[in-house]
Amino acid sequence: MSYFSESLRQMFGAEPHKPSKEEISAEASEVHLHKKVNPFSRADFEAVYETHGNGGTKWRNRRWATLIAVNMLFVISYYFDIQILEGALTASRFVGFHMADLNSALQVMLAYKHLVLNLVIGTVTVFILWVLLGGRTFCSWVCPYHLISEWAEKLHLLLASRNLVTDHSFDRRVRSVLYLVFALLALVSGYTVFETVSPTGILSRALIYGPGIALIWVGLVLLVEIFYSRRAWCRYVCPIGVTYGVVGTLSPIRVKYNVKHCHHEGDCRKVCLVPHVLSMTIKGRATNFDMDIGADCTRCGMCVDICPTDSLDFVLGYGKKSQ
């Protein structure tokens, strides 16, 4: 199955495709057979972890710094009236260039049923930007709620390790259904309903213009994620991820997986916000020696940081081979 079709399937909630023997390339089959005949021993795992440690934080640190810098630039531009980055994440101007969040723009177009020139210009600008950078990069490198939710996840995992909470998962297709629901609500009501409840927009506006009562809603969502369902909003609700994920199928920036040195210990899937995109890291699943991670990937780099064998890494370009 092609990268594009599999990416879109997973984007809209389908389970990862389990390849048949005929779909696995000769090169990948050779690797799988070698690992079956020569399985990794406990000593192999211990040696790898002794060298690698518990994983690095290089990409996490870069991502947090970028996310904070982007959002603070909105704040600084507003408070000091320097007009570098005006507006908020839903719609803004960067040194005069109009920019509009793709999902917000869609909601506005459906609600008001006509096109505004500046909105079209802003949408095209942002579309090109995220095609180049990788669509869901927005989620992990720009969205302020992602960062707060990431910190809340650490609390959830701490409570879970002490058996104080249990993680409840939902069918990922719920996100696709809600995408259509929010679109229909905008079309029928003439009001951008999703923008009213979007933690991304609420937090962005609160940072820039000051806190409001809507932050209570953000707090309630975080409580659900801490005590009931890990990263529930991003995984099962937010349509922004779907919109940017579709754009990301065209992006030349990807996370690449190389099956040769992978020990299949599963650390990458444990830290991943969207672990279904890493299904090829399960033993025997890889269909090619090198594989691109699907477009639902947020390019957060957590799997790259934690991988003890460097089997995952960022690449620029289509079909680029790992070293």
Could you tell me the maximum CA-CA distance found in the chain, to the nearest angstrom?
A: 66
Report residues of the chain scoring pLDDT below 50. Answer: 322-323
* 3-7+15-39+255-316 placed in CATH 1.25.40: no
Tell me the C-alpha distance between 95 and 267, whole Å: 42
> Mapping DSSP to helix (H, G, I), strand (E, B) and coil, where does residue 291 land?
strand
The token pair at 97 is 């260039």
Residue 280 DSSP label: G
pTM of the model: 0.91
| Backbone conformation region of residue 78, classed left if phi is above 0, alpha if psi is from -120 to 50, else beta | alpha
Tell me the C-alpha distance between 110 and 224, whole Å: 30
pLDDT of 320 reads 54
**CB neighbourhood size of 49 (10 A):** 15
Tell me the C-alpha distance between 261 and 309, whole Å: 6
Residue-wise over 241-273: b if at least 16 C-beta within 10 A, else e? bbbbbbbbbebebbbbbbbbebbbbebbbebbb
Tell me the C-alpha distance between 32 and 38, whole Å: 10
pLDDT of 321 reads 52
Tell me the C-alpha distance between 225 and 221, whole Å: 6
Q: Contact 280/287 with Cβ under 8 angstroms?
A: yes
Distances from the Cα of 278 to the Cαs of 29, 30, 114, 126, 143, in angstroms?
A: 18, 21, 40, 27, 22
Residue-wise over 64-81: b if at least 16 C-beta within 10 A, else e? eeebeeebeebeebbeee
Distance of CA 130 to the CA centre of its chain: 13
pLDDT of 289 reads 93
Tell me the C-alpha distance between 298 and 254, whole Å: 10
The token pair at 260 is 């040769």
Tell me the C-alpha distance between 258 and 261, whole Å: 7
The 8 Å CB, 24+ separation contacts for 271-276 are 271/302, 271/303, 271/306, 272/302, 272/303, 273/140, 273/231, 273/234, 273/235, 273/298, 273/300, 273/302, 274/235, 274/298, 276/10, 276/15, 276/16, 276/172
Where helices occur in the chain by DSSP H, the ranges are: 3-11, 26-37, 42-52, 58-79, 102-112, 117-133, 137-141, 144-161, 173-189, 193-197, 199-209, 215-227, 232, 239-248, 267-271, 302-306
Tell me the C-alpha distance between 128 and 135, whole Å: 10
Domain limits of the chain? 3-7+15-39+255-316, 60-246
